Amino acid sequence: MFKRYPTKKIFVGDVAVGGDAPISVQSMTFSKTEDVEATVEQIKRLHFAGCDIVRVAVPDNAAARALKEIKSKISMPLIADIHFNHKLALIASESVDCIRINPGNIGDKRKVAEVVKACKERAIPIRIGVNSGSLEEQFENKYGQSAKGMVESALYNIKYLEDLGFEDIKISLKASDVQRTVEAYRILRPLCDYPFHLGVTEAGTLFHSTIKSSIALGSLLLDGIGDTMRISITGELEKEIEVAKAILKDSGLVKDGVNIISCPTCGRLEADLVKAVSEVEERTKHIKTPLDISVMGCVVNAIGEAKSADVAIAFGKGSGLIMRKGEIVARLDEKNLVDRFIKEVEKAANE
């Protein structure tokens, strides 16, 4: 039985992360952050797509100075992504809801202490964002870019902040391949109780990122690991959110709307099932009630699937069956099947 790993709860703006909070979905803009108009436009698109938290890159002063205006124009919690330069983190801390840094990359403990003080004053968390491609030299020299090296870096950075009396922390351990990512999160999970941000970094294009992220994040989520997540896809915004939500839903962690079970079709098929499934998908998008609905090409597996589905349809030659919880409620001509099926699904949702 699935059991989520217990962690501390922190807040990124008004979004709770960890503890009993729902697993939130994050994304990142790819505009030049100082182009406020373009950045706000991308953030609004992400918000509309269902993103919970957004991150922007802050590589220089121009980006850091733009954060205040960006924040004033959006309602989603905003994270500043900063490497090396603690001054940028200090500027960002005045406007954003969370800072992503690697304290070890900033180096000088006094500089990290300044950032921690600023975050404490504004009660904003820090994400320790370990990335296998940018490990501190001492860990890369000793462990290479391995999961062990990533975990050692995370522990080092956690201690860095804890020594400064700061525990408003979440952690990510991202590698660009599935096995190292999963291994690193699994090793670190029992060693601390801070919430985890999951992701496979530089995961590639839509197709490859979807596969890698589904395997890595799906494995971790089913282990009960993960409190917030980002799917990184080259050049995509809304798709990142769509894939993240699909992973949560198809892992069974979020119950939201219809789950469509449909057969792959084969030589027994006597109907246009592909068209029917597309139509069902389109016409049930508005339904928010969690329902399992099954659309099958013939009676071979349809009756079995129908028993566990809320509403099911089994096509035959020129006609088919509509079932509710395995009980036949109608036998109709093929042309009337989808309409009646949708009516039954809506009825089930209202019940």
Binding segment toward ligand SF4, per CB under 6 A, in 170-178, 234-242, 278-286, 295-303: 295-303
| Cβ distance to ligand SF4 smaller for residue 31 or 265 | 265
Question: Residue written as tokens 């792959």?
Answer: 264
Q: Which residue is nearest to ligand SF4 (CB)?
A: 297
Q: How far is the CB of 283 from ligand SF4 (least distance, A)?
A: 21
Q: 109 by DSSP, 3-state: which?
A: helix
Strands 15-18 and 197-198: unpaired
Residue span 328-347 as binding mask against ligand SF4, x where in contact by CB under 6 A, dash where not = --------------------
Of 92 and 263, which CB lies nearer to ligand SF4 in the complex structure? 263
- Choose, by CB under 6 A, the member of 137, 190, 264, 333 that binds ligand SF4: 264
Task: Supply the minimum distance, in Å, between the C-beta of residue 207 and ligand SF4.
Answer: 24
Residue that is written with structure tokens 């928010």 in the block: 288
We find the least distance from the C-beta atom of residue 292 to ligand SF4, in angstroms, to be: 16
| DSSP structural state of residue 313 | E
Please, what is the Cα angle at 234 between 144 and 89, to 5 degrees?
A: 65
Window of 32-40, 115-123, 151-159, 262-270 that interacts with ligand SF4 by CB under 6 A: 262-270
Q: What is the smallest separation between the CB atom of 266 and ligand SF4, expressed in angstroms? A: 3
Distance, in Å, from the CA atom of 88 to the CA atom of 310, rounded to the nearest integer, reads 54
- Shortest Cβ 136–ligand SF4 spacing (Å): 53
Report the amino acid identity of residue 261. I
* Dihedral-angle region of residue 137 (phi above 0 means left; psi in -120 to 50 means alpha; beta otherwise): alpha
Tell me the window of 162-170, 180-188, 215-223, 263-271 that interacts with ligand SF4 (CB under 6 A): 263-271
Instruction: Give the type of residue at 324.
Output: R
Determine what percent of the chain falls in helix, strand and coil, rounding each to the nearest 5: 45, 20, 35
Beta-bridged to residue 16, according to DSSP, are 11
Residue 259 engages ligand SF4 in binding (rule: CB under 6 A): no
Give dist(CA 311, CA 146) in Å, integer: 48
297 touching ligand SF4, by CB under 6 A: yes
Q: Which residues bind to ligand SF4, rule: CB under 6 A?
A: 263-266, 268-269, 296-298, 300-302
